[in-house]
């Protein structure tokens, strides 16, 4: 059973702080890794993807991948109340299917 694990939270951070979201996956053959943001009552929205070990930065967001540890993370710098949402980690393991974690709820306090 291929799995993607996330802490359900909620993760609460003050406005302006760095939010760190973590995800582990079970399939060592996983190829692509994604972070989606889902606001309450809305559908998921892709915010980052990463393929290679290391860091990938896009504005206030940084995705980090460590394939040896089977670990992917998302850092959100200068967190804003509008970042409050559920963040879904997703892993492509082959066979044209992407497996999603259950998500981490983030709450940014103004």
Partner 1 sequence: GAGVSQSPSNKVTEKGKDVELRCDPISGHTALYWYRQSLGQGLEFLIYFQGNSAPDKSGLPSDRFSAERTGGSVSTLTIQRTQQEDSAVYLCASSEYRYNYGYTFGSGTRLTVV
Residues that bind partner 1 (CB under 8 A): 31-32, 34, 36, 42-46, 49, 88, 90, 92, 95-103
Nearest approach, Cβ of residue 55 and partner 1 (Å): 18
Instruction: From residue 106, give the alpha-carbon distance in Å to each of 15, 45, 67, 76.
Output: 12, 15, 25, 11
Closest approach, Cβ 11 to partner 1, in A, equals 16
CB of 14 to partner 1, least distance (A): 25
Give the residue from 38, 41, 37 showing the smallest Cα distance to 49: 37
Place of tokens 């040896």: 68
């Amino acid at each position: 059973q291929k799995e993607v694990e996330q802490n359900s939270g909620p993760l609460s951070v003050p406005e302006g702080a760095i939010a760190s979201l973590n995800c582990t996956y079970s399939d060592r053959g996983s190829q692509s890794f994604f972070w989606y943001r889902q606001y309450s009552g809305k559908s998921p929205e892709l915010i980052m993807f990463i393929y290679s070990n290391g860091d990938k930065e896009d504005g206030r967001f940084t995705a980090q991948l460590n394939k040896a540890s089977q670990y992917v993370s998302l850092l959100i710098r200068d967190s804003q109340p509008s970042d409050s949402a559920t963040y879904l980690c997703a892993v492509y393991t082959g066979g044209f299917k992407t497996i999603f974690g259950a998500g981490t709820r983030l709450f940014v306090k103004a």
